[in-house]
Amino acid sequence: MPDGAQPVLDVRGLKTVFKIRGGEVHAVNDVSFDLKPGELLGVVGESGSGKSVTMMSLLGLLPSPPADVRGGTVTFDGQDLLKVDAETLRKTRGGKIGFVFQDPMTSLNPVYNVGMQIMEPLRKHMGMTKKQAAVRAKELLELVGIPDADQRLKDYPHQFSGGMRQRVMIAIALACDPKVLVADEPTTALDVTIQAQILELMKELQERLGMAVIWITHDLGVVAGIADRVVVMYGGQIVEQAPTRELFKNPQHPYTRALLKTVPRVSGGREERLEIIEGQPPILGASPTACPFRDRCDVAMDRCAHENPQRYDVGNNHDAACFYDARTGAPRDV
Ligand SMILES: Nc1ncnc2c1ncn2[C@@H]1O[C@H](COP(=O)(O)OP(=O)(O)OP(=O)(O)O)[C@@H](O)[C@H]1O
Ligand SMILES: [Mg+2]
């Protein structure tokens, strides 16, 4: 990946609110990040931190109401995806941007065989005949490492294991040669070994096909060896962003440092949790006027209760949203 290359996807100031009875949930607050061509970006954060809502917002996949994408720009192919017409968005989604979501709305349909489900985007987006689509569907199953592809195309989703179903969903997402693949990992359904296999497969495909990948997970350990760069989310915000090695070597945000202590070590096939982060995730009832992590933070100061820190550049393409400077061990002079 050439340094300074134009991003393939550029998200600025994204803000998404859900209107609920009696109020609002501020699920995504001023989220900005970019994705370089061919890059594998890991997005990490605990449950409810806004990972899925961020990705669904930028793909226009959230029903409105209750969702309201209130601000921001999402530049892809020279256009703002938040402003394009419905037809352009439909063509982009599932075409130039493939996605695999944990959401049931986008998962496999139990009443159609897998072959038909892989052929559908090929016919819809690529204008293939039934015969062409059948040939390509078989190639795609082979590409994602499903043996006996010819036979498997006739099988229904319930005849596949969880890991194999995930591969089928990746095959569908890859069908139209996307420039970008967004994968929201269904961590609950898959054990760590299978997750690791799927991620290995993604890395291999990313390198072979030259596409950029956004990989969403709870688990920093899962992205450690494979992502080029990592974005850490907490309470609907990006709290830290850095190239993977830099993040592990030099974690800046107290949340990231706490998260690193929870990275499980897999020994003898057993997963071992080292530590848990004490306290509760924030309630996202209003636009944040304080640091969302302050109640769980071991270096919080007065300022954190009435100011939400911006993301400070700490060098090496690394930034963190914290008033405490982990490099000096003192409050930031800003
Ligand atoms: N339809 C909805 N109505 C109201 N609030 C919602 C809705 N969907 C999501 N939220 C809220 O938005 C916030 C972010 O949710 P999101 O699904 O993005 O989290 P996540 O980081 O993907 O979590 P997980 O790791 O569990 O998938 C949460 O507080 C969630 O409760
Ligand atoms: Mg999610």
Domain-embedded: residue 168: no
Structure tokens at 11: 């998200």
Number of domains making up the chain = 1
Q: How many angstroms is it from 312 CA to the middle of ligand 2?
A: 26
Q: Which candidate, 204, 6, 7, 181, places its Cα nearest to that of 96? A: 181
Q: What is the residue with the minimal CA distance to atom 26 of ligand 1?
A: 47
For residue 58, report the distance from its CA to the centre of ligand 1, in Å: 15
pLDDT digits (tens, 9 = 90+) for 95-122: 899 988 765 555 788 899 999 999 998 9
Which residues have C-beta atoms less than 6 Å from ligand 1?
18, 20, 25, 27, 45, 47-53, 66, 218, 284
Domain region containing 184: 9-96+176-331
pLDDT at 271 over 80: no
Residue 53 CA: which ligand 1 atom is closest?
Answer: 18
Q: Is residue 144 part of a domain?
A: no
The single-letter code of the amino acid at 101 is F
Task: Report the pLDDT value the prediction gives residue 1, as an integer from 0 to 100.
Answer: 46
User: Using 50, 70 and 90 to split pLDDT, how confident is the model at 208?
Assistant: confident
Ligand 1, atom 4, residue with closest C-alpha: 18
Distance 317 CA to ligand 1 centre (A): 29
Structure confidence by residue, pLDDT tens digits, 291-314: 999 999 999 999 999 999 999 999
CA trace torsion 172, 195, 51, 36 (10° rounding): -70
For residue 268, pLDDT over 60 is answered with no
Three-state helix/strand/coil letters over 85-143: CHHHHHHHECCCEEEECCCHHHCCCCCCCHHHHHHHHHHHHHCCCHHHHHHHHHHHHHH
Strand 40-44 vs strand 212-217: parallel, antiparallel, or unpaired? parallel
Summarize the confidence of residues 26-40 as an average pLDDT. 96
Name the closest ligand to CA 56: 1
Kindly report whether the peptide bond that precedes residue 157 is cis, defined as omega within 30 degrees of 0: no
Largest CA distance in the chain: 67
Q: What is the mean pLDDT of residues 175-201?
A: 78
| Residue 237 domain flag | yes
Q: Distance, CA 236 to ligand 2 centroid (Å)?
A: 12
Closest-lying ligand 1 atom to the alpha carbon of residue 56: 18
The CATH number that applies at residue 59 is 3.40.50.300
Residue 163 belongs to some domain of the structure: no
Q: CA angle, corner 114, sides to 109 and 120, nearest 5? A: 80
Using CA of residue 280, residue 281, residue 285, residue 289, what is the dihedral sign? Answer: positive
185 within 8 A of 214, measured Cβ to Cβ? no
Q: How would residue 2 be classed by pLDDT, with cut points 50, 70 and 90? A: very low
DSSP conformation letters of 256-314? HHHHHHTPPEEETTEEE------S-PPP--S--SS-TTGGG-SS--GGGGT-----EEE
Triad 265, 269, 272: Cα angle to 5°: 35
The token duo for 13 is: 């100031």
- Looking at per-residue pLDDT, the higher value among 37 and 218 belongs to 37
177 close to 95: Cβ distance less than 8 angstroms: no
Binning pLDDT at 50, 70 and 90, where does residue 219 land? confident
Phi, psi of 247 (to 5 degrees): -65, -40
